[in-house]
Amino acid sequence: MPNAKSKRPSSLEDLLEEISDEVEAEQAASMSKDDQVLADIARRMLRLERDMTMPGSATSAAARVERLAKFIEEEQF
């Protein structure tokens, strides 16, 4: 059985990340089902945009807009 010390965050950054995760989980739990669906879509859309703008990515602005538009068209709101 692991002791409580092994589960402690090792740095302030880890602690802040843990707190952020807890706050996000509480906010998600208090949202309506429709808001949860929209938040999930927004999260996936932001992840797609981030992936296309990572350093070394050769995706042009026009291609990013096209992929984001296609993503939105295919989603069920």
Predicted confidence band at 56 (pLDDT cuts at 50, 70, 90)? confident
End-to-end CA distance of the chain: 45
Given a cut of 70, whether residue 11 has pLDDT beyond it is: yes
- φ/ψ of residue 28, rounded to 5: -65, -40
Boundaries of every domain in the chain: 32-77
**Claim: this prediction has a pTM higher than 0.85:** no
Each residue's pLDDT tens digit, 20-54: 989 988 988 899 989 988 988 999 999 998 888 88
Helix 33-52 to helix 61-74 angle (10° resolution) is 160
DSSP SS3 for 31:
coil
Distance between CA 15 and CA 28 in Å, rounded? 20
